[in-house]
Chains A and B, each alone.
Chain A
Amino acid sequence: MRPELKEYALDLLFARSFEIARKTARSSEKERTYLMKTVPYISGILEPILEQGKPAITFIELLCDYYTNIVNAKANGKKVVMTTFCFDPTIFYAFSNLVPLTLEVGSVICSFLWKRGSFDFMDFCTEVGFSETGCSAQRGTLGAYLSGTGAEIDMVAINMGGVCDTNGNAYSFAAQYLGKPFYGLDYPSELTSNEVADYHHRDFRNLIRFIEDNGGGDFDIDRLRELLNEKIIQDELTNELEELQRLVPNPVPGLFHMMIYACRYTWTGDKKFTRLLREMVEVASKNAAKGISGLGKEEKCRALLIYIDNFAFNAGMFQWFHNNQVSHMGNLLTRFFPHNAPYRRDVPGTCYRIDTTDLDTMIDSLADINARMPMTRTIRGPYDAPNMWFEDSLSLAQIYRADCCIYNGTPGCRNTWSNVKLIMRDLERHGFPTHLVYADAFDGRVESWETTATRLDEFFNIRGLL
């Protein structure tokens, strides 16, 4: 890794960048215009985010708080738990002394913010022996923590066993390389039976024991109840946004999706995240009342991302959508499957319900939520979801009246790349033009954003979508 990169602690760099960005909330339009000229390297991402208005500032504040907490963890007597984006962090916040750190969120920030992306960190992983074919979502920042450029990690806890090998592998490698305790929740290839639910619940209790043994902090039951109650409100607000997206034109701005899942992975149960969602509902509702799209201009087409977004420099994909008047109808990462979600299909056992009656019901609820996080639920199978996430994709495409579907992921994703051709074929058979992106959502070296954009142009033109 280039020595100069080691001069900057990654979390500190993130925290300070967001600290400066949040101050723009107090700036006048003239000041902001001037600011954009003086920060050419980040204006490309700052501008479209700030254009989202109030929610953008809250979003930036949340990310700033997240990384500031990580930076200050040791000074505040707290321990840092490295975890994956699919792990609902509520349980960590229910402990008095834990701070979660999610690699994938950092990888997105690097890709969005820096022209060089997170290439150096990815390459460092390879230098120390990690497979170069592993998923870039983790490698994007894993290298920083392995090289000591990021915060010191105290333990690793994930929920990827049985869901995603390459993700689980990255975290277990990190635990081994850094010599830290590791716990992995395990998920069978089925989701809906009572037997499986019981397995999830018992496994989750063992996880809590692991955290107690290795964290040394107090588990606060009242705090857990408070967090879960807040999550109920957050789910309702997210559902409202989902409902609004069914309108034509879609009044929800595309970047809201990214903001929702980034915060859901980092700040679930927190009141400030509730505020963010309220602000988003307000913006989208106003758009809906006026009958305008979240694009701020005419909606020409509606695209459902059936896997993840592309996090190219300066939010290239979101900008492409905006410029081409294509509404982003969300992706696999934005759907969490609470029992009252508008997109749920009434298949017993596929959604979660939060029950705060007592400690046991709360722990069971957490286990159920974790088992239904994006990816954890959706790309599991094969039993009780024999076509992997095809039915989910098809029903979402139908519910949200998508004109087309786009698969975008990372070459590190064995699961989806093992099945995407089947899903693509079936979506086409059901009348949804489907485009397969061969780029890496986090690594522009695999395919440059410009090439990806050209292929999107081709797809939308050839299929007569624009």
Chain B
Amino acid sequence: MSELFKKAANSINVPEIVELKNKGVKIVGHTCSFVPVEIFYAADIVPVRLRGIETESMSIGDAYYGPFVCSFPKAVLQQAGKGGFSFLNGVVITSGCDGMRRLDECWRKMSTDFEGTMPGLFTFLDVPHKPHDVALEWYESRLRKLIKTIENHFNVSITDEKLKNAISFQNKIRVKIRELTDLRAENPVFITGTEAFEALIARTVLPADIFLEELSRLIEEVKNRKEPVSDGRKRLFVTGSICDDIGLVEQIEEKGAIVVGESVCYGMRNTTEMVSETEDPVSALASHYLSGSICPRMFGYYEARRDAIISMVKETGANGVIMQNIRFCDLHGSENGLLERDFEKEGIPSVRIEKEYGPLTDKGRLRMRVDAFLEQIGRKRRSFSA
């Protein structure tokens, strides 16, 4: 168990970040897993993934966004408007999806009404919707543009050497996350999904060195545990829309299951593949981040994503899959429909759940759906071994 990860996963104001900020370290927020964090570390800047947790209303989010929009970007805007991100020196918005892309306009407009909510650097990283050929070249050129922007704004120099060092350090983290993933795939399993998911979320908001140290400690602790947590529990895999909702995993586990993996933003997705340390560092980052992420925003690559998810489901020995999507997330909403069909062909039980992001207003309904699903797979229980 890691108190540090628990705290980091459950609050916007992470003390370790605040401390660094007070020491003069620059902190930059970003909105998407397509943003290579190595670029920031190479500039001695700490990147933090923006989240919408701890929002108690959508009074600001709803004032700028319309009603038919996913609640995640609204919650991020709400946090920004309330001053929740006042510790940031900069923000990088991406074209992750339409709702997130439009966070750019909404945040700029909101900052004219709420003083002090616009960070010093507010910029955009364009991410193509396909991973190959001209799109890959375009993405690489955007990364180089982002590097220039950071260099100019913060008066720093991002050299190839610094980038390679940052890549090397992140690769060490990737090795450890692979270890964590393998531990979750064991049967019996000695780590709960809640603990593991907290660690994965913490990765996106903690400074890399602190994270690596704590993750290494957690892994050693888990290896020494004597009592499995999975005994007799059904093993579930979670996939779908962006999710940093520890509460969802907790609820599933409270109902008697164990979450052994998740292919969601903030989860296991694209966390264990290595970035080449021999190639030109920007090219290596471009091909890793653009080709490796299995997000349905990449139109026309469903089969690759499905195969990757099925392989993760099998590797983790899951008995079933919970496919969640935030309402108005059409990308995952539709992809979950295709996955449902293909899981069925593979004999993998699955359930689709649509929900809102943020405070678990849907708690009762979700518990009932999870309960019913567990009952259903209890009748024809099977697991998949790699």
Q: Interface residues, chain A, CB within 8 Å of chain B?
A: 128-135, 158, 160-162, 164-166, 168-173, 175-177, 182-184, 186, 188-190, 195, 199, 202-203, 206, 381-383, 386-388, 411-422, 438
Number of A-B contacts (CB under 8 A): 158
Contacts of A382 in B (CB 8 A): 93, 101-102, 104-105, 124
Q: CB < 8 Å: which of B64, B128, B334, B336 contacts A422?
A: B64
B357 within 8 A of A: no
Taking the closest CB of chain A, its distance from the CB of B328, in whole angstroms, is 5
Chain B interface bracket (under 10, 10 to 19, 20 to 34, 35 or more): 35 or more
B133 touches A414 (CB 8 A): no
Residue of B70, B135, B297, B336 with most partner-chain A CB within 10 A: B135
A176 touches B124 (CB 8 A): no
User: Given A173-B334, A412-B68, 11 other A-B contacts at CB below 8 A?
Assistant: A130-B333, A133-B333, A169-B334, A182-B299, A186-B135, A190-B126, A203-B135, A206-B133, A413-B68, A419-B106, A422-B106
Q: CB < 8 Å: which of B101, B108, B109, B133 contacts A189?
A: B101
Contacts of A206 in B (CB 8 A): 133-134
Majority secondary structure, A binding face:
mixed
A199 touches B138 (CB 8 A): yes
Residue of A132, A161, A414 with most partner-chain B CB within 10 A: A414
A134 touches B333 (CB 8 A): yes
B40 within 8 A of A: no
A415 touches B102 (CB 8 A): yes
Chain A residue with the shortest CB-CB distance to B95: A189
* Distance of A133 Cα from B64 Cα, bound (Å): 20
B102 touches A419 (CB 8 A): yes
Complex interface residues of chain B between 322 and 364 (CB less than 8 A to chain A): 325, 327-331, 333-334, 336-338, 340-341
Are A415 and B299 also in contact (CB < 8 A) when A134-B330, A169-B334 are?
no
Chain A residue with the shortest CB-CB distance to B141: A195
Contacts of A162 in B (CB 8 A): 95, 126, 128-129
B302 within 8 A of A: yes
Interface string of B104-129 (1 = CB under 8 A from A): 11101100000000000000101011
B108 touches A386 (CB 8 A): yes
A422 touches B302 (CB 8 A): no
Are A421 and B66 also in contact (CB < 8 A) when A176-B302, A184-B299 are?
yes
Complex interface residues of chain B between 176 and 233 (CB less than 8 A to chain A): none
Q: Interface residues, chain B, CB within 8 Å of chain A?
A: 63-70, 73, 93, 95, 97-99, 101-102, 104-106, 108-109, 124, 126, 128-130, 133-135, 138, 141-142, 296-297, 299-300, 302-303, 325, 327-331, 333-334, 336-338, 340-341
Q: CB < 8 Å: which of B63, B331, B338, B340 contacts A165?
A: B331
* Distance of A401 Cα from B129 Cα, bound (Å): 39
Majority secondary structure, B binding face:
helix
Contacts of A169 in B (CB 8 A): 296, 299, 330-331, 334
Contacts of B64 in A (CB 8 A): 421-422
Taking the closest CB of chain B, its distance from the CB of A307, in whole angstroms, is 12
Are A165 and B126 also in contact (CB < 8 A) when A129-B340, A131-B330, A414-B70 are?
no
Are A133 and B129 also in contact (CB < 8 A) when A202-B134, A383-B124 are?
no
Chain A residue with the shortest CB-CB distance to B327: A133
Are A133 and B104 also in contact (CB < 8 A) when A189-B124, A383-B124, A414-B69 are?
no
A422 touches B327 (CB 8 A): no
Contacts of A202 in B (CB 8 A): 134
A418 touches B300 (CB 8 A): no
Are A172 and B109 also in contact (CB < 8 A) when A130-B334, A133-B330, A382-B124 are?
no
* Distance of A132 Cα from B337 Cα, bound (Å): 11
Contacts of A186 in B (CB 8 A): 128-130, 135, 138
* Distance of A182 Cα from B300 Cα, bound (Å): 6
Taking the closest CB of chain A, its distance from the CB of B262, in whole angstroms, is 20
Q: CB < 8 Å: which of B138, B297, B338, B340 contacts A176?
A: B338
B297 touches A165 (CB 8 A): yes
* Distance of A438 Cα from B340 Cα, bound (Å): 32
Taking the closest CB of chain B, its distance from the CB of A362, in whole angstroms, is 19
B138 touches A188 (CB 8 A): yes
Q: CB < 8 Å: which of A130, A132, A183, A414 contacts B300?
A: A183
B328 touches A414 (CB 8 A): yes
A199 touches B338 (CB 8 A): no
Taking the closest CB of chain A, its distance from the CB of B76, in whole angstroms, is 12
